[in-house]
Amino acid sequence: MANNPLIITCALVGAEQTRETYPHLPLTPDEIAIAAEEAVAAGATILHLHVRDEQGRPSQQVEIFAEVSEKIRKRCDCILQYSTGGAVGTPLAERCAPLQLRPEMATLSMGTMNFGAEIYENSEATITAIAAAIKAGGITAELEIFDLGMLESVDRLAARNILPEKYHIDFVLGVPGGMAATLRNLVLLVDRLPPGQTWTVAALGRQQLPFTAHAIAMGGHVRVGVEDNIYYRKGELARSNGQLVARAVRLADELLRPVASVSETREILGLR
Ligand code: KMH
Ligand code: ZN
């Protein structure tokens, strides 16, 4: 598209935050749906979705994904992107389970890494199994790239037809154990992409704001939301996901990038 509309993804919940660390965290299906509506009203078109069980713990239960998805769809028009990452340690079958609901998009993490003090397991066998489930559902994959080696793996596994033919790339920068959120790193990653490959940046914590600006200026797309960052500015928690999306929209406006509608997002990413 000539004017390169900006796709804003909002990561509403995640698996790591708790009400103790972030009191406004949406947890129940109704709370997640309300947060979704606010984020979409502010300008997000893709919702990266994790859900929680009745105790507020991260869950990959199909029934909860179904309920949350239905509630979101009643409130707003958007593209749902299910997490297959779950929480660190979620068993493979559980990670894949929500894919049977055939969301438009789902994530696929491209390698094992230290994730803070824990290990986020994405062996080649795990990647292959999740990729197969994504392909079987006719779902568009977003490849989660936490480190340069994972981008090298994209080419290697694509050459063996393990990955879906078409995918979108998300650079997740700043996880302790992954690639740091520095501009040099982002330039290195983007330089390695083939022409025309779509990409997003999700930078953690206080880097979410500057990397939103960097990605907008570089022609990429952005992910904001409380999965990655709970602060609006130093010492001030974000009021909501919608507040973080609204700031990304204002930045886009200043940098003369129009914000993509849902149909433009589908067109840019070639969604089904
Ligand atoms: N919660 C992280 C361990 C994804 O959603 O695909 C993994 C994650 C990635 O959030
Ligand atoms: Zn996630």
CB 30 within 8 A of CB 247: no
Give CA–CA dist 250/184, Å, rounded. 25
pLDDT tens track for 163-173: 999 999 999 99
Q: By alpha-carbon position, which residue is closest to atom 8 of ligand 1?
A: 85
Written as one letter, the residue type at 218 is M
5-12 average pLDDT score = 99
DSSP 3-state assignment of 113?
strand
Instruction: State mean pLDDT over 183-212.
Output: 98
* Mean pLDDT (whole number) for 118-144: 98
What mean pLDDT is predicted for residues 150-158? 97
CB 229 within 8 A of CB 12: no
Minimum-distance ligand 1 atom for the alpha carbon of 120? 3
Minimum CA distance residue for ligand 1 atom 4: 85
Q: For residue 83, which atom of ligand 1 is closest to its CA?
A: 5
CB 223 within 8 A of CB 10: yes
Report whether pLDDT(272) > 90.
no
In the reported structure, the alpha carbon of residue 188 is separated from the centroid of ligand 2 by a whole-number distance in angstroms of 23
What percent of the chain clears pLDDT 70, i.e. is strictly above it? Answer: 100
Percent of the chain with pLDDT over 90: 99
Burial code of 24-61, b = ≥16 C-beta within 10 A, e = fewer? bbbbbbebbbbbbbbbbebbbbbbbbbbbeeeeebbbe
- For ligand 2, the distance from its centroid to the CA atom of residue 243, given in whole angstroms, is 19
Pocket test for ligand 1, best of 83, 94, 99, 127 (most atoms within 8 A of CB): 83
Name the closest-CA residue to atom 1, ligand 1.
87
Cα 226 to the chain's mean position, in Å? 11
Q: What is the pLDDT of residue 2?
A: 72
- CB contact at 8 A, 92 and 54: no
CA–CA gap between residue 202 and residue 26 (Å, rounded): 19
Q: Which ligand is nearest to the CA of 225?
A: 2
Residue 174 burial (CB < 10 Å; 0-12/13-18/19+)? buried
Q: Measure the CA–CA gap between 238 and 163, rounded to whole angstroms.
A: 36
Q: How confident is the model at residue 143 (pLDDT cuts 50, 70, 90)?
A: very high
Nearest CA to ligand 1 atom 6: 85
The 10s digit of each residue's pLDDT in 237-261 is 999 999 999 999 999 999 999 999 9
- Give bridge partners of residue 169 from the DSSP assignment: 143, 199
User: What values do phi and psi take at 114, rounded to 5?
Assistant: -70, 135
Supply the pLDDT for residue 1: 75
φ/ψ of 61, rounded to 5, equals: -65, 130
